[in-house]
Amino acid sequence: MTVSGIDVASYQSTDYSTAGLSFVMVKATEGSSYVNPRHAAQVATGRGHGLVVGHYHFARPGSMTAQVTYFLQHAAPGTGDVLALDWEDAGVSGAEKDEFIKHLQAASPAHRVVLYCNRDFWLNRDRTSFCGDGLWIADPNAPAGHPQITHPWTFHQYSETGGVDHDVANFASAAALRTWASKGHAPAYEPFPGVAWFTVGRRSPIVAAMHDRLVAVGCNHYQSSANKDVIGSGDIASYEAWQRKYNAEHHKGWTGAALKWPPGKETWDALRVPNV
């Protein structure tokens, strides 16, 4: 079984559709002098919709260690993010590919590191089959999830439609992908504090974190961000919008009180409020 995702660069919108997706790979850097100007916003869109986020670096001839440093500086990966080397430039040798991956693994041990390349590079330029924690293979001539290689693969870029590259990940579920990406350590989210906790006027950094997440998932019914750490009418309206959105996207069939304040555990857990 597989789960679906896309990869984006500066050519794509920052407000890309996330419907049906479990992950997004975002171009961060290229060589030692280029940063995708949309990287931060494209990452924020993925995070806001609960996707596993990946960052990739397009390698150019030159110092691999310098490019790793440049990549990490500008990608600023978070917990559970995936890092990828994009190996497409024929001026970058297979040995340099290996050097980049090994240096990146050493420099960022908390993250999964994968290799992206097309089928020609993998079959005809690679000499070691070294791909870090996984191979992200580009093979648009094969059906999704069936790249024409014998080596185990983790991601398959299989098509480009509507100006967006489409991928699948070789995992049974989005949860399995997230667990792999975080190396078995799930990102820390605030546990559900209980229905009685959600009283108007309560001040807490958890409320501010909830505010930010509701804005990120497109349920912003706030008049302002002043006193965002205090539960108020904006939180109620925004959270009820989130409940309606979750209900529709997951076909829950909820009605009446199930869509009203206060929050319930299921929608709270799905909102993924960061642990503060």
The tokens describing 42, both together, are 């494209």
Buried b (16+ CB within 10 A) or exposed e, 122-142: beeebeeeebbbbbbbbbeeb
Q: Among residues 275, 276, 250, 256, which one has the least CA distance to residue 267?
A: 250
- Write down the pLDDT at residue 187: 63
Residue 240 catalytic? Answer: no
CATH topology for the 3-181 domain = TIM Barrel (3.20.20)
Q: Among residues 47, 63, 55, 59, which one has the least CA distance to residue 28?
A: 55
Q: Which residues of the chain have pLDDT under 50?
A: none
For residue 225, the tally of other CB atoms under 10 A from its CB is 12
Q: Could you tell me if 45 and 16 are in contact, meaning their C-beta atoms sit under 8 angstroms apart?
A: yes
Structural domain boundaries in the chain: 3-181, 195-271
- Write down the pLDDT at residue 185: 67
Q: Provide the whole-model pTM.
A: 0.71
Of 7, 126, 133, 139, the catalytic one is 7
- Write down the pLDDT at residue 104: 96
Of 88, 89, 212, 229, the catalytic one is 88
